[in-house]
Amino acid sequence: MGEHTVASFDEDLEQISQLIRDMGDLARSMVSGSTRALLNSDNALAQRVVSDDAIMDARQRELDDRAITLIAKRQPMANDLRAVVGSIRMAGDLERIGDLAKNIAKRVGTLGLSVTPRDLSHSIDAMAQLVLIQVQGVIEEYAARDAEALAKLRADDERIDVKYTSVFRELLTYMMEDPRNITACTHLLFCAKNLERIGDHVTNIAENAYYVLTGTQLPANRPKQDETAMSAPAA
């Protein structure tokens, strides 16, 4: 893509795209930090994730300001318009990912006191790995401007949904085995749900990024596989 006749237009766009990259990096580090804190009962790390969320919020406000000002000043068209509007929406999803990571981090203190969660959280560990791959992937593929990879990444969210269903069943089994597990498992269930929601926000980001890059929308329906709403574990 060539440069604008007005050079400061390019600078304005670059600042917005830099903010998205920053927010993406921060989201990645918050998701990874919160799950490590959860699995290792690391309170210090959890605290850092909680305080990072304030930085995430500030970045989003800055991006909103810059995007609104750019639209008012430059009236962007075509790919520029898509990039600016897409950035506003992606920033919203990244900010939500930050919130969800913070929520996981806040449960670390509570969990640490109840039982050793390590035994109960193996499958959450596996789920967290899947989510991290997705978060990392969406940031990298957008930076690489690879629309096809983004479309594939969006479809891959299904794996997280499947994993969530199995975590849900597993935790329910632990609770039935020993009611003393209920508090810890409930917290872990919330964490799993948060991870699943993070996956959904990654999906949104991938859809937005795809639109920014190609100007066309991905088809609306994507295979969905959260079965927890419908079925109880085998009795």
Partner 1 sequence: MNIMTEQSLENAVGDKMNAKSNEVIKMRGDKVGVFYGDKQALFDVNLDVRLNQVTALIGPSGCGKSTFLRCLNRMNDTIDSARVTGKITLDEEDIYDKNIDVVELRARVGMVFQKPNPFPKSIYENVAYGPRIHGLAKRKADMDQIVEQSLKKAAIWNEVKDRLQEPGTGLSGGQQQRLCIARAIAVSPEVILMDEPCSALDPIATARVEELIDELRQNYTIVIVTHSMQQAARVSQRTAMFHLGYLVEEGATDKMFTNPDDKRTQDYITGRFG
Which parts of this chain interact with partner 1 (CB under 8 A)? Answer: 1-6, 9, 74-82, 214-216
Q: Is 2 or 223 the residue whose CB approaches partner 1 more closely?
A: 2
Asked whether the beta carbons of 173 and 232 are under 8 A apart, the reply is no
Q: Judged by CB, which is closer to partner 1: 12, or 170? A: 12
Q: How far is the CB of 155 from partner 1 (least distance, A)?
A: 23
> Residue 84 CB, nearest distance to partner 1 (Å)?
11
Asked if 16 and 70 count as a contact pair (C-beta separation under 8 A), the reply is: yes
Q: For residue 156, give the amino acid letter.
A: D
Q: Would you say 53 and 47 are in contact if contact means Cβ atoms under 8 Å apart?
A: no
Q: How far is the CB of 5 from partner 1 (least distance, A)?
A: 5
- Does residue 13 contact residue 70 with C-beta atoms inside 8 Å? yes
Minimum CB distance to partner 1, residue 3 (Å): 7
Residue 163 and residue 125 in contact, taking contact as beta carbons nearer than 8 Å: no
Distance CA 27, CA 25 (A): 5
Which C-beta is closer to partner 1: that of 74 or that of 159? 74
Please, which residue, 16 or 189, has the CB nearer to partner 1? 16
Q: Considering the complex, what minimum distance in angstroms separates the CB of residue 32 from partner 1?
A: 36
DSSP 54-68: HHHHHHHHHHHHHHH
Which one, 76 or 137, has the nearer CB to partner 1? 76
Residue type at 148? E
